[in-house]
Structure 1
Amino acid sequence: MPPSFEPHSISAHGLALHVRQRHPAGTRAVLFLHGWLDHSRSFDWVLEHLPDTWRLILLDFRGMGRSEHVPPGGSYSFSDYLLDVECTLDGLGLETVHLVGHSLGGVVGAAYAAARPQRIQSLTLIESLGPLGGPPEAALERLRGFLDDARRPPHRKRYASVEEAAARLRENNPSLTEAASLHLARYGTEPLEGGVVFRFDPLHRRRFGLGFDEAQWLAILGALSCPVQVLHGSHGLSFEDAQTRARLAALRSPLPLTLSGGHHVHMEQPEAVARALEHFIR
């Protein structure tokens, strides 16, 4: 029987992060980073096809999944997620690790691998090549958006059932399958007043005040020194535009592996994604 996952609470400078781990004495350590407003259970179906001997770690970013929300008056920034990764590695005594990131998790993984090259053995990006970027003059609009969003009080919408919450996920992401949306909703909601609400902190919907422009992000990708592989859903993000080509060139990695599916291709093709991970990490 495959070893089971054990929950851990990791302190990120006082904020409790929810982490699950399997086989702490495993031969290879792999840390999975989920997408924006998702949670680590999005990788469940991939994990079923990975070697039982590997040490697998799953992190819920702060304010998402079962990790703690920031206290009243707090906010979130992109660099916070890098801190979550570092605190997880330190808290589990991991000197080095293979990183796997989906969407936002891939952006975080790439930035962390560039900042801490000595700790990352390889990086797999699933439907992820970076943030929106843009020209330097977009910085002013980001600041305005941040201030505008801060005026809006956080709101947690209630749904009558998990199924209704899953339907809402599919509205926001039409390529998401019914099975995937139900899985995400089942583990990403909690009961409230006769219905359910999503667990993530609604403050995550506010825009960041600071972000990378395209030149900065290309510099980060160009600084990566570990092996990188890119997995892409055939109906997911566009990988045909000039920005994507420039980012792939900066990575100096082989062409993306395209699998049939959408943005959550790892939930549609878990066995194929697991095979790609095992081949690459080995």
Structure 2
Amino acid sequence: MPRPFETLAVDAHGLALHARQRHATGTPAVVFLHGWLDHGHGFDWLVEHLPDTWRLVMFDFRGMGRSAWLPRPGHYQLSDCLVDVEAVLRAAGLDAAHLVGHSLGGIIATAYAAARPSRVRSISLIESLGPMGGPPENALPRLRGFLDDLERAPNRKRYPSVEAAAARLRENNPGLPESAALHLARHGTEPLEGGIAFTFDPAHRRRFAQGFDDAQWLAVSSAVTCPVQLILGDTGHRIDEERAQARLAALRLARPPLVIPGGHHVHMEQPEAVARTLVNFISP
């Protein structure tokens, strides 16, 4: 019988993060980083297929899942997620760990591995080749968009049921299987007057004030020194070929990208296949 997950108390400089771990004395230690507006339970089906001897840590980024929101008028920025990773490693007493990141989580895993090379043993990127980026001239419109978004009050939409919330997830991501959408909705909603609402802070929908342009992201990716693997769904998200090749070259992958049947949440569609890839990459 698989070992149970236990609560891990994480204090990210005064902000409480929701985190769970399995087998606190196991090795290797693997930390999972979820995608934008998702939560750590998105890895539930994947970890069922990982060795029982491994130490596994899953958490929710600030303002997502069951983690605390920033007090008003707080503003979320990409760098906040690096603070969360560092807080989780500190709370778990880990000097270093393997990172597995999906989508946004992969961006954070890459940035953290570049900034803290001694603390990351490897990174496994699931459907994640970096932020949208673009040229430097995007910086000014981004700043203007950030200020414009501040004029719009955050709105938590109500849904009559978990099934309705899951249907909304599938509207935004048509390739997401119904079973995966229901799982994400069950663990990512809470009762609210008039129905249920997603637990993420709606302020996350505001645009960032700062972001990496393409040249900056290549510089960050090039600074990663640990082994890197990339796992893609065959119908997942893609960036243009020229940009993708530049980013792959910067990361110096330990092996060619692995393409598995599935979409952007391929780790939920094909958990056993993705787990097998992680075992083959992390175990040696």
How far, CA to CA, are the matches of 2:4 and 2:38 in structure 1?
22
Q: CA separation in 2, counterparts of 1:9 and 1:129? A: 31
Runs of 4 or more consecutive aligned structure 1 residues displaced over 6 Å after TM superposition: none
Deviation at 1:9, TM superposition (A): 2.4
CA drift of 1:126 comes to 0.2
Deviations 1:66-109 (A, max 9, x none): 10000111111111000000011011110010000000000000
Is 1:246 the equivalent of 2:214? no
**Residue 71 of structure 1 pairs with residue 89 of structure 2:** no
Q: How do 1:46-85 and structure 2 match up within 5 A?
A: 46-85=46-85
Aligned to 1:118: 118
Task: Output the amino acid matched with 2:103.
Answer: S
Query: For residue 88 of structure 2, what is the aligned residue in structure 1?
Result: 88
User: Does the CA-based 8 Å contact 1:18-1:59 persist in structure 2?
Assistant: yes
**How far off its partner does 1:194 sit?**
4.1
Structure 2: which 5+ residue stretches go unaligned? Answer: none
The residue identity in structure 1 corresponding to 2:88 is T
| Shift in Å, 1:123 | 0.3
Mapping 1:123-202, distance limit 5 Å: 123-202=123-202
Deviation (angstroms), 1:8: 2.1
* Superposed CA offset, 1:91-140 (max 9, x none): 11100100000000000000000000000000000000100111111000
> Is the Cα–Cα contact under 8 Å of residues 8 and 91 in structure 2 kept in the other structure?
no
How far apart in 1 are the matches of 2:75 and 2:204? 8
SS at match of 1:182: helix
Q: Which residue of 2 aligns with 1:204?
A: 204
1:239–1:245 contact (8 Å) kept in structure 2: no
- 1:25-58 deviation line (CA, Å, top 9, x unaligned): 0021000000000000000000000000000000
Mapped contact 2:160–2:194 kept (Cα < 8 A): yes
Q: Counterpart of 1:217 in structure 2: which amino acid? A: W
1:159–1:196 CA contact under 8 A, matched in 2: yes
Q: Which runs of 5+ in 1 are unaligned?
A: none
* TM-score, with structure 2 as normaliser: 0.98
Partner-residue secondary structure (3-state), 1:137 = helix
Cα distance between partner residues in 2 of 1:47 and 1:134: 35
Task: Give the deviation of 1:239 after TM superposition.
Answer: 5.5
Deviation of residue 201 (structure 1)?
A: 0.2
Over the aligned positions, Cα root-mean-square deviation in angstroms equals: 0.8
Report what 2:234 is aligned to: 234
SS of alignment partner, residue 18 of structure 2: strand
Please list, as runs of the form range in 1=range in 2, the aligned pairs for 1:245-264 lying within 5 A after superposition: 245-253=245-253, 254-264=255-265
Q: Which residue of 1 aligns with 2:18?
A: 18
Q: What is the aligned residue count?
A: 282
- Identity level (%): 66
**Which amino acid letter does the alignment assign opposite residue 185 of structure 2?**
A
**Counterpart amino acid of 1:117?**
P
2:211 match: secondary structure = coil
Q: Contact 2:49/2:275 (CA < 8 Å) preserved in 1?
A: yes
